[in-house]
Structure formats: C-alpha cells, structure tokens
Chains A and B, each alone.
Chain A
Amino acid sequence: MTGTAMPLPSVAKKRSTRARTVRFGISKLGVTLFTASMAMIFLLPLGYMILTSVKDNNQITALNAPLWPATPEQYTAGDGQVYTVYQVTMTDGTVQDLALEKPGRVQSTFINPKDGTEVTWQGNWRALSSVWSFSIKWDNFTTVLDVLNFPLLLRNTLIVSVIGTIGAVSSATIVAFGFARFRIPGKDGLFLVLIMTIMLPFQVLLIPQYIAFRAVGWTGTWLPLIVPVFFANAYNVFLLRQYFLTLPRELDEAAQLDGASPLRILWSVIVPQAWPAIIAVSLFHFFFSWNDFFAPLIYLNSHPELATMTVGLQAFSATYASSGSGYLTQAASLFALIVPVMIFFVAQRVFMRGVVISGVEK
C-alpha cells in the first residue's frame, strides 16, 4: 500500500489508530449501556425495596400515591381536626388545593385552607390526587436502630464471620490440595463421602447436632458456629479442588524437582495461581456466615449479647412484617447490607484480569 494517492503512511497509521480507538469507544459504550440496562432490570426489586424502606405506612397504603417517597399535605382546621389536601378540579376548570372534610359518594365537602370556607364539590373524590411533597422517611431507620442494637449485632456477626472465614478457607485449601494433587487409594470414594456430607438437609441433622453440642456445653456460645468450620466444608473443598484441577502441573513438578515440599508447593505455587477461587470461597463463607440463620438462632437462643445480624433481623421482621409493616423490615435489611456490600466491592477486584474477547487488542 504505497500508492501516491494514499496519504503519508504515518498519517494513515495515525488515522486508523484513531478510527480504531473510536470504534473501541463506541463498542465499549454499547456494552456498558447494555450491561447497565440489564442491571437496572435485575435490580428493580431492590429499587422497590429501597423506595419502600423510606416510605411510611400512610403512603404505602394510599391511593394514587407517587412512586417516590412523599408526604401528603395536611390541613389542620380550627377545631384541631386534620384533613388531607387534594388537588380538586372545579366546575370552572381551575384546579384548587382543598382539604377534604367530608368525603361522599356523590358530593364531598372541602375546606379551602386559605380562608377556612367550606366548598361543596360534585364528583368522585377517590380519583383525586393528594398534594404530595417529597419527603424521605428516615424515621424508619431510626425505628430500626431503636429496636435493634445494630453495633452489637454487627460486631458479633463480624467476629463470627471473620474467624469462620479464616478457618473455612485455610482448611478447605489444604484439603482441596490433597484431593486435587495426590494419588490416594480410595480417593474417589472419600470424595463422594465428602459431597454426601452436604446432601442431608439441616432439618434432620439439627437435633443430633444440638444434643451433641449441648453435651459438651457449647450451646450459648459461638463455638458451634465457628469450630466445625475449621475442619473443611464440602462446598469449599469441592470448589477449590475443581479450580486446582484446572491448574497445569508443570509448575508443581518443576518445584518438586527443585526439592520443594508439598506444603511449599501449595503455598508458593498453587495458592498464588488460585487467588480468584480462594477469594470466591472466602466471600461465600463470609456471606454464608453473615446470613446464616437457624444455627445462630438455636445455639445462641437466650443470649441476646451474642446474637448475630440475621437473628436480630428475623426477630424484627417477625414482629413487623405480619402487622403490614414490611417496609420496616426492608429498612432493617438495607441497613444490614452496607457492610457486606463494602466488603464485596473491595474483594471483587481480584477478578480484574479479564480476557481478550473482542477482536481489538487492548
């Protein structure tokens, strides 16, 4: 491509680079917009949750209420009675803000807040909209904090989850390495036994477990939630084993030839390659422990000073959800969500490597 009609090579290169950058930018915008819209659909229920958590009972059960958190305008009459103000279309076509004093099927009586005069109006008051003004009900969160000792619950939950996560991940890493890299007679059978340990539902295991932990005096402490975790859980071992098996053996073998012990190989060769899976397992255990409900409930029963977040949340929602105030439950759950989301946001950066999928190199 050296025709005289062509621009100078350097310019052409520059242009094509620029064109490529533009093309890359456009595709990037497209992919990002697509993902954003997916996320929006995916998180619609979360939107409902968030908006509900900052509304009050009055708005949630109101007719013609807006989607956003708001308060209807009220008017206090001379006799101390409080009426709701509506936007009323009068017979002359004007719209006035009037307080509904006596609603009726055919005609209703309103009070004009400006001068206190009564106005009789013919029509269906149910079709009228109140005069809503934007107002976020932080009260809901205050109520939550009044009833639940959040700092205590958070502290307890963090202690149980952080210690548990350390134990779960370290033990699972060790055991998974054993399953992934060593020839052991009967290993397949053992592996099946490992997986079988998670196949029975907790509902039938609970009572034997409870009796056993009670016999050793562990009920009423965190020990039943923490100690067993240090002896490798099948979910974690299985996942790490799967991941370790995807790692080629050349490095292990090279290290082995250099005289490294298996422990050394695990620490210096396997673990560094398996960070994404190890972080994933840590996150799983952390959130499992964070959201674990029944075990803390029964082992810490009668020990409010040891209770974890979900136990508190559950008690809270049991009290409020049935009385029609699910919005308080949602406020509480949202509040409880802050710390885990922060932790995830920090932790997920381990998955940053990414692969070259597009035809464009980076």
Chain B
Amino acid sequence: MRYQGDRKGSLMGRRGFSQIAALASVAVLAVSACSGSTATTAPVASTGPVASTAVATPTPLVVGTPAGKSGQIVSIGGKDHILVRWFVGLGSGTNPAQITLQQTVVSDFNALQDKRTDGVMPIVLSLEIVQNNTATDILKTEIASNNAPDLIGPVGIKGRAGFAGEFIDMTPLIAKAGYDMTKYPQSLVDTMKDGQTGALLGIPYAVYPSYIFFDKDLFDEAGLKYPPQKVGDQYTMPDGSKVAWTWDTVRNIAMLLSVDKNGKDATQAGFDPANQVQFGFEFQWTEGRRMASAFGSGSFVAADKKTAQFPDDWKTAWTWYYNGIWKDHFIANDTERNSDLLAKGNVLSSGHAAMGHMFQWYICCMSADATKPGAFKKWDIAVMPANAAGKTTAPINIDTFTIDKNSAVAQRAFEVQAYIVTRLDLMALYGGTPAIGDQLGYFKTVVDPTFAKQFPGNVVNWQVALDMEGYAESPNHEAEMPNYIKAMDDYGKVFSTLATTQGLDMTKVFSDVTTALQADFAAGS
C-alpha cells in the first residue's frame, strides 16, 4: 500500500516549523522582557568575591559569594586578602531576615579587616547560605570533593552529627586566644565535645532553653488561670484548689483547653474528638528524645556506652504523650497537626493550641500579624512542669561555630567567629541567649525593644527563659550515642507511630526501641 507520507510529511513539516518559530518567539519575548530589569542586578562573577559581596544579592534566599578556595589570596584594591569561607545552613540562619543581617555582618567584618593596620593580612569573608533541608547534602558534596568551607555554623549537636570527625579540636586555638573556658557552665561545655574523641569542637555560642509558650486568650476564654512563671509556684485550678505545677496538672488543664466544634471540652461527656478544633497542649516539631527529656534527663545509652536502655522518666513521657493524643485528646495527632486548621504543623501559631513546649529559637519567627505565618496575639512563657518526683527539667539547644579539619586557615576562621559572637543583634535574630555575660540585660536591651514594637502591650517575662537555663537537662537530649544517626532514625521511626497509630501496646513500643537501638549500638562499635 502507498503510505500517505509525503503529503502529510510536508504538511506536518510546515506546521512543525511554525511551532518551533512560535515557541522560540515566546522564549525570546520572555527573555527580553526580563533582561531589562535584571541588567542592573546581575553581578559579574569574574570580579571576585568582594565585588559580589558588595552587590545587593538579587535573591535573598539563594545566597553566596563565588566561593574561591579557602585560604586563597585575593587582591582587592591593590591589597592582598586571605579568603575565609563561612557556611550557614546546618542550624539557624536561613530565614530572610537572618540572611540579610548575616550579609551585613559579613560586609561589616570585611570593612573592619580592610582598616586593620597591624600588618597581618586582612581577611575577606565569603558567605555561603544553604537552606536547611539541603545544607547537609551540599556540605557533604563539598567535603567529598575537597572543597569544604572553613567556618561552619551556627550549628547544634544534631546538625553536627552527620559530620563525625570533620571538625577540628578547638582547644589549642582557644588556649592561644586566651579564652577562659571556666566562665562557661560545664554542662554547656560538655555539649561541645565530640562524643567519640572528647575533642572540643566549639565554644558555646547561642543557648536556646525551652519552656512553655501559652496563648492568654485561650486561657481567658476557658476561665483558667495562667500557668506559673516561677519554679515551685503552684497552679490554682478552677475550683480554687492549689496544685503543684506538674505534668499531671498540665494534662488536667490541657483537657479543659481542648474543645470540639460544639464547644464541649475533653473532660465532658459527648466530647467529639473527630471534630476537635482546639488543643490544650502541643510538643511542636518534636522528637522522641526531646519530648522525653522534658520529663527528666536521660539517655538511650547506658553508662557503659554500649547498652540500650529506656529510662523510666522517658517511658512516662512517651506514655503521657501517647495518651494525650489518643485517650485524653489534648494533643493533636499527625493528621490534625498537618491540617490547615493547625497551620500545617506550626501548631502554636494557629491560634488553636493553648500551650506548647518549644525552644527559644522559635521567637525568631513569631509575628503579630494574623495574616502572616507564625501569627500570635497575646502570649507569654511559663516554666516547665515538674515530673512525678518533683524535678523540673528543661531541654536545651546550644549552637556553636565549628571549623573544618581541612581548613588551611583555621586560625583566621577562629578570628571570624570571635567577631560574629560579639554581634548581639545577630544573636537576637537567631533567638538565642548569649552563653555567658549579662543575659537579662541582653533581653532588656536587645530582645525586648523589637518585641515591644511587634507586640505592643504584650510583655514577655524573659526571667522564665533565664530560669529554665538553670534547669537545663544533663545530659543533653541530643547527646552522643553509638551509631548516632542510624540510632536516631530507628527510635524516631517508632516515636512517629505514637502520633499516627491508635491502639499501640506501649510495652512493645519500648522493647522495639531498645531492640533496634541495641542492634545499632552493636553495629556502631
């Protein structure tokens, strides 16, 4: 048979060409439409690191200066500079306001260096910011290809965990700089140590204690008294009885603060958990060890550093949490937590959670504008409740700056971090508290002014934050375990089922965790 090819062929051909022409013109139009506005902002890469540091970054979220090799000598204005690279992304530092301030800090630092007259070659600091969710992968790629940055931070214990053996022991640099480490609380210094080698990986920088955030409006609506702001203060129940501020008390009032759409609270008959619209308590963005440590310090690994264990306080904690979700209905389950009503996980900001446990870094991103994410109206902070034994424990995060082991300019990188640490404005934007020094003064002069502007009339009692630092957990909930990341994944897997699965046998949950951890510990040693 004769195929109709040639007729169709030419026809399709013409049409094809016109398609391509049309496509090309769309593309050209689009390119020309935007090139006009970008001509002014696109920096020229070839002018070197300083030129682009100075240029206003067009995309505040994708930040960096062309990263030369660390330790490279760069000539700027006829003067030799030594390049030091600062990597941000493993911890705080990736929201737009923080990014902008970090850029300012870098240009301030570079300006200071330019002015130095002591004969030491000035530093040119180059900043690389990678969003949290990809930071680990990017940093590992750079390390694997022998292109690691020099200064890495702010970073906490967990952020460092994937990089065992990657950071230098800072002890000699600290000794050389003449720092007095005894000024720092020993518990904070301990968290800076490499779990395997005991090397000191950094100096405690930003401390983020945790406490209870609460929504005053929701307490008012329920006719309940606010939670206590001093350890040891009692709580007055609606019937006038005074009770100790314990996790039991939290449960009891959280149930009163959990409401369904008919207005019934979780203690009332006919309460409808399927249509719950308000929750009494939330462990926001939580994690198995963090929430457990709020009930008492502990560790999954015994003192011998190889036996898996499940501390009794932690069993109590997990059970409290599980019952809070499925039995007493004062904590949202996984579905509810990720719903639009509860702001897809940022539950405390949704206006439908009365209390929550959170770290201080959370204040970085609170907003008084209800139309914006992280919205809050009238709020304050309260102390952590005590456990059954009457002991109060506050989980704590501590960030530091670390230096890469392959850095050719470790000494200079140390100089950079010594400068960054003095920038309390940056500290405030990270939501941290300085590890030493006048902390209350810091809150009064640096933090309060910005908060008073944002939340007029809403005075936050920062003394609570300072007090909670005094009740910090020890060991830290993020402390070392053998085979750290794998172990974290394995208990994390089980912990997440507490919020997704009803009808769990808690005894089995505990034994599952210890079995999995024991295997990890054995494999890791």
Contacts and interface: CB of A to CB of B under 8 A. Distances in A.
Interface in B4-47: 5-6, 8-10, 12-13, 15-16, 19, 22-24, 26-27, 30-31, 33-35, 37-38, 41-43, 45
B62 A311 contact: yes
A312 B59 contact: yes
B453 to A, nearest CB: 16
Contact of A302 (B66, B133, B346): B66
B64 A272 contact: no
A6 interface: no
B41 A149 contact: yes
Contacts of A282: 23
Interface centre among B37, B64, B278, B374 (most CB of A within 10 A): B64
Contacts of A94: none
Interface in A136-191: 137, 139, 147-155, 158-159, 162
Contact of A328 (B147, B373, B375): B373
A293 to B, nearest CB: 9
A272 B79 CA distance: 62
A19 interface: no
Interface centre among B23, B60, B67 (most CB of A within 10 A): B23
Nearest to B341: A61
Contact of B41 (A58, A152, A301, A302): A152
Interface residues of A, number: 81
Contacts of B60: 147
B110 interface: no
Contacts of B343: 57, 60-61, 324-325
A149 B59 contact: yes
Given A147-B61, A158-B31, A207-B144, A301 B263 contact: no
A149 B64 contact: no
Interface stretch (A26-34, A39-47, A227-235, A341-349): A341-349
Contacts of B42: 152, 305
A78 B217 CA distance: 20
A172 to B, nearest CB: 15
A206 interface: yes
Interface string B55-75: 001111111111100000000
A105 B277 CA distance: 14
B373 A57 contact: yes
Nearest to A108: B221
B351 interface: yes
Contact of B23 (A302, A303, A343): A343
- Range of interface residues on B (Cβ < 8 Å): 35 or more
Interface stretch (B124-132, B288-296, B409-417, B434-442): B124-132
Given A61-B350, A61-B351, A152-B58, A298 B141 contact: yes
Given A61-B340, A124-B262, A149-B41, A304 B373 contact: no
A200 interface: no
Contacts of A248: 3, 5
Nearest to A152: B38
B50 to A, nearest CB: 14
A346 B241 CA distance: 74
Interface stretch (A110-118, A236-244, A315-323): A315-323
B197 interface: no
A312 B62 contact: yes
B59 A61 contact: no
Contacts of A152: 34, 38, 41-42, 58-59
Interface string B350-373: 111000000000000100001111
A272 B223 CA distance: 78
Contacts of A137: 371
Contacts of A38: none
A271 interface: yes
Interface string A293-313: 000011001111111000110
Nearest to B52: A305
Contact of B263 (A102, A105, A247, A321): A105
Contacts of B131: 314-315, 318-319
A301 B345 contact: no
A80 B30 CA distance: 48
B220 A102 contact: yes
A354 B59 CA distance: 45
A211 interface: yes
A214 B16 contact: no
Nearest to B278: A126
Given A126-B263, A207-B145, A320 B66 contact: no
B350 A324 contact: yes
Given A105-B263, A152-B38, A251-B3, A325 B373 contact: yes
Given A155-B35, A272-B9, A303 B66 contact: yes
B138 interface: yes
Contact of B59 (A155, A159, A210, A304): A304
Nearest to A325: B373
A251 B4 CA distance: 10
A97 interface: no
A273 B34 CA distance: 36
B390 interface: no
B342 A323 contact: no
Contacts of A126: 259, 261-263, 277-278
A339 interface: yes
B373 to A, nearest CB: 3
A251 B7 CA distance: 12
Given A248-B3, A305-B58, A349-B15, 4 more contacts: A147-B61, A158-B30, A207-B141, A305-B45
Interface of B: 2-3, 5-6, 8-10, 12-13, 15-16, 19, 22-24, 26-27, 30-31, 33-35, 37-38, 41-43, 45, 52, 57-67, 94-96, 128, 130-134, 137-138, 141, 144-145, 147, 217, 220-223, 259, 261-263, 265, 277-278, 340-346, 349-352, 365, 370-375
**5 closest residue pairs by CB, A with B:** A302-B64, A324-B346, A324-B343, A124-B263, A325-B373
Interface of A: 52, 56-58, 60-61, 63, 102-105, 124-127, 137, 139, 147-155, 158-159, 162, 206-207, 210-211, 214, 220, 247-248, 250-251, 269, 271-273, 275-276, 278-279, 282, 297-298, 301-307, 311-312, 314-316, 318-326, 328, 339, 342-343, 346-347, 349-350, 352-353
